[in-house]
């Protein structure tokens, strides 16, 4: 960063030029200097001024050769001239200068046109070898006065005869240099004209040139034609000149015509160098964001083409390249893609689009987020300031590619921008600090209690609060951020106190495998209508571990205990020592061995599954407990007395409780290798288990109802309950009931179905259409898209979507996080968030039985989950027809 020239010097230049008085034209007319273009970020010299600091040795020599030759061949050309009462000393006239060059055209060089000769003089003017006498015009083949540098500075002497011979011997070389430079000089001369002064011929000339520029190669010729009338030429004579600073408002887009620039980022220094033909500066324009980097010229005499913001938006915004790659130290760090305002990848012309991240390193994505998606002003709501989902997607998915400790440490770096680099302006420092505070605030609102519960984040927000309080003494405008951070620390403390007071929240795996909350005193809480609290890693859970002989021990561990810990406790209590395995034995007899690192063991069992501990070589001897078979009698008698609407209502209330307890992260833990995060997903386990419970409850009750007429009544009842579930938007229960009724053990009961009234059959076939999985559950998706929250969604489908996204897309692409995958994952998580964006408030139906009894009934299903047994029962009810 040391070689960055102060931007103030360039600003000073701009102001000086704006302040310059109107001067009387050398040709007699009064003419206002063209106002400096207020839109430009840096000053570009006035068209009549040289573009180099001093002439190069080669050009200085050419000037000497021409002046010496003219003074011998046509000395009258350089003389004092009067114009409108002013005398201009030792000057030449533009038209005569052109005439003279044309006269020289002969055997060793040939001039085709007057404009070519003008170009040769313009090349000398650009280098500061000749000047317009009042520095108002570029070179013109007109009655304009010009002067050689030596005469301008008053050091021009009369040449000697020896000088004459020397000059004549160098004349050929001088003309070939100028002939070579003329075309570029003519082009620059044209590009330095105000667009309104450009003639059709000028535009054609610029257009021809644009056809050869790499940075424009993706644009159509008609766009290039439009550009010809708006492009400016900008040059910087000195290496180390800042074109703009990181954090500045974006005002122009640049293409490098000559030279190269460094891209510099605070806290990182130079991250890359851009060369001739490269472009820069469109991110800020397209995304309406501050500049992502500072751009500094790396060598003297850098030339650029510049398109200012309004023209860029009008001509280029919609036809810009679809992807942009940003590099640092030769490596890709960010891949951006044009996205139309409706979120689709832009294909044709769209009136609004932004660049969105499709891949990147975690650090660069965070940097880009802070700069483009987090407002440096305080948003009252703490909601993301931009309309797109980049920030929310990042917050919902970062745990897959940037764990909390890494994110906190990067945020610290961004916050401490003034410590790592002391040269920025106060405004930039404050904006950077605010962005970190607002990012953290949005993080907390998005992630909620999992944010406050994480010890790494807790420490980080405490440190951040201390830092902001400290900084606010120095930077007064950080007061709002102090409040925000203090509120967050308070929230964290309150939550902690709440947890400390209820530190021993306990759960129990009941005799039927339900996960129930214990209230102090030891009873099960599920019968009482209280607000359910999500299951936490550190909560205690009581469950049984069985041995091969069906004896058991009761264990109490934390929910987050690994299988290995549980195995150790159980082995101690049961006095077993051998090489042991912890196993789930399902009611079907299937055995599934837990890996040592697995978590959420007691909550993740199948409905009638039980945990067993066994020596590895006795695994085959494990058999299910008799209780795993499930009931031999149904609850038909009770069910008959319960009102369908009330059943559905209580089911919706229960499902809502369970659904509300599931954190978005639990879906990620579940799909992305269930155990790699070592975090419990017990709330999701319980909710998914509920789906299976309802499904098997329906099948069990149907298969345990021996009387045909009662079975028909029950079938009608289930269809009615499903109907109410759909009304209450409890689609999880709706699917479970309809899938239960479609289970082969029920669907094959043709005598039962035959007796169902036609009207009800029709309703059911409508339900079947709704759960039809074809075309990726199209019917259901269409149906649900028309609903408004609160909705209890069909959870297995959300998980299936996430699994497909995960399995079908790599998490990393060539070392960069595949953020398109993260967008997709976040989209599913957003569906979940939208479903519960409003609380479930439904009016309780008039109660036939006591609400308490219905509530108790639907929370304590006792059922058969062994498909073979269910099919057998079904066969017994209605034997297969021969």
Contact positions vs ligand CMP (CB under 6 A): 250, 263, 271-272, 280-284, 291-293, 295, 326-328, 333
What is the rounded CA–CA span in Å between residue 76 and residue 777?
93
Residue 284 beta carbon to ligand CMP: minimum distance, rounded to whole angstroms: 3
Q: Which is nearer to ligand CMP, 283 or 561 (CB)?
A: 283
Q: Which is nearer to ligand CMP, 353 or 649 (CB)?
A: 353
Least separation in angstroms between residue 408's CB and ligand CMP is: 23
Q: Which residue has the tokens 């590009």?
A: 191
* 230: nearest Cα among 33, 16, 11, 40: 40
Residue 2's Cβ-count burial label (10 Å; 0-12, 13-18, 19+) is exposed
* Spatial separation of the C-alpha atoms in residues 718 and 716, rounded to whole Å: 6
For 626, the token pair is 């008799």
| Residue for token pair 């472009």 | 279
Lookup result for tokens 């490596």: 331
To ligand CMP, the closest distance from the beta carbon of 341 in angstroms equals 19
**DSSP structure class, residue 771:** T
> Which pairing describes strands 540-546 and 610-615: parallel, antiparallel, or unpaired?
parallel
Which CB atom, from 292 or from 515, has the smaller least distance to ligand CMP?
292
Nearer to ligand CMP (CB atom), residue 148 or residue 253: 253
CB nearer to ligand CMP: pick between 314 and 325: 325
Minimal distance, residue 333 CB to ligand CMP, in Å = 6
Q: How far is the CB of 246 from ligand CMP (least distance, A)?
A: 7
Shortest reach from residue 370's CB to ligand CMP, in Å: 12
For residue 345, the minimal CB distance to ligand CMP (Å) is: 20
Give the nearest distance from C-beta 563 to ligand CMP in angstroms.
Answer: 45
Contacts of 781 (CB under 8 A, 6+ apart): none
Structure tokens at 81: 């001239």
Closest by alpha carbon to 347, among 385, 373, 319, 367? 319
* 272/686 with CB nearer ligand CMP: 272
Q: Would you list the DSSP string of 83-134?
A: ETTEEEEEEEEHHHHHHHHHHH-SSS-----HHHHHHHHHHHHHTTSEEETT
CB 426 within 8 A of CB 409: no
Omega of the bond leading into 790 within 30 degrees of 0 (cis) = yes
Given a contact cutoff of 8 angstroms between Cβ atoms, the answer to whether 833 and 664 are in contact is: yes
CB of 293 to ligand CMP, least distance (A): 4
CA atoms within 13 A on the CB side of 588: 11
Provide, rounded to whole angstroms, the least separation between the CB of residue 328 and ligand CMP.
Answer: 5
| Cα–Cα dist 714/759, whole Å | 16
d(CA 105, CA 109): 6
Closest CB to ligand CMP among residues 142, 325? 325
* Residue among 283 and 822 whose Cβ is closer to ligand CMP: 283
Task: Quote the DSSP letter at residue 35.
Answer: P
Written as six digits, the tokens of 835 are 């479903």
CB of 295 to ligand CMP, least distance (A): 6
Query: In the chain, what is the greatest distance between 2 CA atoms, to the nearest angstrom?
Result: 132
Q: How far from 724 is each of 226, 775, 795, 844, CA to CA, in Å?
A: 63, 26, 18, 12
User: Is the CB of 271 or the CB of 315 nearer to ligand CMP?
Assistant: 271
DSSP for 66-95 reads HHHHHHHH-GGGSEEEEETTEEEEEEEEHH
Nearer to ligand CMP, 51 or 265 (CB): 265
Number of Cβ within a 10 Å radius of residue 744:
12
Least separation, in Å, of the C-beta of 383 and ligand CMP?
24
- Tokens 């910087």 found at: 236
Nearer to ligand CMP, 230 or 559 (CB): 230
- Report, in Å, the least distance between residue 291 CB and ligand CMP: 4
Q: Which is nearer to ligand CMP, 338 or 567 (CB)?
A: 338
- Spatial distance between the Cα atoms of 489 and 459, rounded to a whole number of angstroms: 10
291 vs 298 by CB, closer to ligand CMP: 291
Report the distance separating Cα 806 and Cα 831, nearest Å: 17
Which of 272/749 has CB closer to ligand CMP? 272
Distances (CA, A) of 358 to 105, 393, 829: 59, 12, 18
CA separation, residue 770 to residues 742, 766, 776 (Å) = 13, 6, 12
Supply the minimum distance, in Å, between the C-beta of residue 336 and ligand CMP: 10
CA distance linking residue 666 with residue 604, whole number of Å: 13
């Amino acid at each position: 960063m040391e070689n960055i020239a102060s931007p103030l010097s360039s600003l000073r230049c701009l102001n000086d030029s704006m302040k310059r008085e109107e001067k009387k034209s050398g040709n007699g007319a009064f003419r206002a200097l063209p106002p400096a273009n207020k839109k430009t970020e840096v000053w570009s010299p006035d068209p009549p001024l040289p573009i180099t600091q001093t002439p190069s040795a080669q050009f200085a020599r050419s000037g000497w050769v021409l002046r010496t030759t003219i003074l011998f061949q046509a000395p009258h050309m350089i003389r004092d001239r009067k114009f409108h009462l002013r005398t201009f000393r030792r000057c030449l006239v533009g038209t005569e200068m052109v005439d003279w060059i044309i006269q020289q055209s002969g055997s060793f060089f040939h001039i085709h046109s007057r404009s070519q000769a003008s170009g040769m003089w313009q090349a000398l003017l650009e280098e500061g070898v000749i000047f317009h006498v009042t520095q108002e015009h570029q070179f013109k083949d007109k009655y304009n006065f010009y002067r050689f540098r030596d005469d301008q500075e008053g050091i021009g002497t009369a040449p000697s005869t020896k000088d004459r011979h020397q000059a004549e011997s160098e004349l050929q070389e001088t003309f070939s240099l100028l002939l070579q430079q003329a075309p570029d000089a003519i082009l620059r001369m044209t590009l330095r004209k105000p667009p309104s002064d450009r003639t059709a011929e000028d535009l054609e000339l610029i257009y021809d040139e644009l056809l050869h520029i790499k940075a424009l190669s993706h644009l159509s010729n008609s766009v290039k034609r439009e550009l010809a009338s708006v492009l400016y030429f900008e040059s910087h004579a000195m290496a180390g000149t800042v074109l703009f600073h990181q954090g500045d408002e974006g005002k122009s887009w640049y293409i490098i015509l000559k030279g190269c620039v460094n891209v510099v980022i605070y806290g990182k220094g130079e991250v890359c160098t851009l060369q001739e033909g490269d472009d820069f500066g469109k991110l800020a324009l397209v995304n309406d964001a501050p500049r992502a980097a500072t751009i500094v010229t790396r060598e003297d005499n850098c030339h650029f083409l510049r398109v200012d913001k309004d023209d860029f938006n009008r001509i280029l915004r919609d036809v810009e390249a679809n992807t942009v790659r940003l590099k640092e130290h030769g490596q890709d760090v960010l891949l951006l893609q044009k996205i139309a305002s409706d979120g689709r990848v832009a294909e044709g012309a769209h009136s609004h689009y932004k660049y969105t991240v499709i891949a990147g390193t975690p650090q660069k994505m965070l940097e880009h987020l802070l700069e483009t998606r987090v407002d440096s002003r305080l948003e009252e709501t703490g909601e993301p300031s931009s309309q797109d989902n980049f920030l929310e997607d990042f917050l919902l998915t970062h745990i897959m590619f940037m764990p909390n400790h890494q994110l906190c440490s990067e945020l610290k770096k961004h916050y401490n921008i003034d410590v790592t680099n002391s040269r920025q302006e106060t405004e930039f420092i404050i904006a950077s600090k605010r962005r970190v505070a607002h990012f953290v605030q949005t993080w907390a609102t998005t992630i909620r209690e999992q944010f406050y519960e994480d010890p790494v984040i807790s420490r980080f927000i405490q440190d951040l609060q201390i830092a902001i309080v400290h900084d606010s003494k120095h930077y007064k405008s950080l007061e709002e951020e102090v409040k925000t951070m203090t509120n967050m620390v308070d929230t964290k403390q309150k939550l902690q106190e709440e947890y400390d007071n209820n530190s021993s929240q306990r759960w129990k795996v009941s005799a039927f495998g339900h996960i129930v909350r214990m209230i102090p005193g030891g009873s099960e809480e599920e019968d009482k209508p209280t607000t359910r609290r999500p299951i936490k890693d550190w909560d205690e859970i009581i469950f049984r571990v069985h041995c091969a002989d069906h004896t058991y021990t009761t264990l109490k561990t934390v929910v987050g205990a690994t299988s290995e810990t549980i195995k150790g406790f159980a082995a101690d209590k049961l006095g077993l020592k051998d090489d042991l395995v912890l196993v789930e034995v399902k009611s079907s007899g299937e055995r599934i061995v837990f890996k040592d690192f697995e978590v959420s063991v007691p909550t993740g069992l199948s409905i009638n599954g039980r945990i067993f501990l066994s020596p590895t070589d006795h695994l085959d001897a494990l058999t299910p407990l008799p209780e795993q078979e499930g009931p031999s009698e149904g609850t038909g008698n009770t069910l008959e007395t319960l009102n369908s609407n009330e059943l559905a209502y209580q089911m919706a209330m229960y499902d809502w409780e369970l659904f509300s307890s599931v954190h978005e992260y639990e879906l990620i833990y579940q799909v992305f290798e269930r155990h790699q995060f070592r975090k419990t997903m017990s709330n999701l386990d319980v909710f998914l288990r509920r789906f299976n419970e309802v499904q098997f409850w329906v099948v069990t009750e149907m298969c345990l109802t021996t009387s045909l007429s009662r079975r028909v009544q029950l079938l009608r009842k289930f269809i009615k309950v499903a109907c109410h579930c759909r009304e209450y938007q409890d689609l999880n229960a709706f699917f479970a009931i309809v899938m239960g009724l479609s289970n082969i053990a029920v669907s094959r009961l043709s005598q039962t179905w035959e007796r169902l009234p036609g009207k009800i059959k029709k309703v059911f076939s409508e339900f079947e259409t709704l759960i039809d999985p074809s075309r990726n559950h199209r019917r259901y998706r269409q149906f649900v898209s028309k609903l408004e929250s609160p909705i209890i969604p069909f959870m297995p489908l959300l998980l299936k979507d996430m699994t497909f996204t995960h399995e079908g897309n790599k998490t990393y692409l060539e070392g960069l996080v595949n953020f398109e995958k993260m967008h997709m994952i976040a989209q599913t998580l957003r569906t979940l968030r939208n479903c519960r964006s409003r609380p479930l408030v439904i009016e309780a139906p008039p109660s036939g039985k006591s609400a308490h009894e219905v509530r108790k009934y639907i929370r304590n299903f006792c059922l058969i989950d062994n498909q073979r047994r269910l099919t057998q029962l079904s066969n017994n009810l209605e034997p297969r027809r021969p």
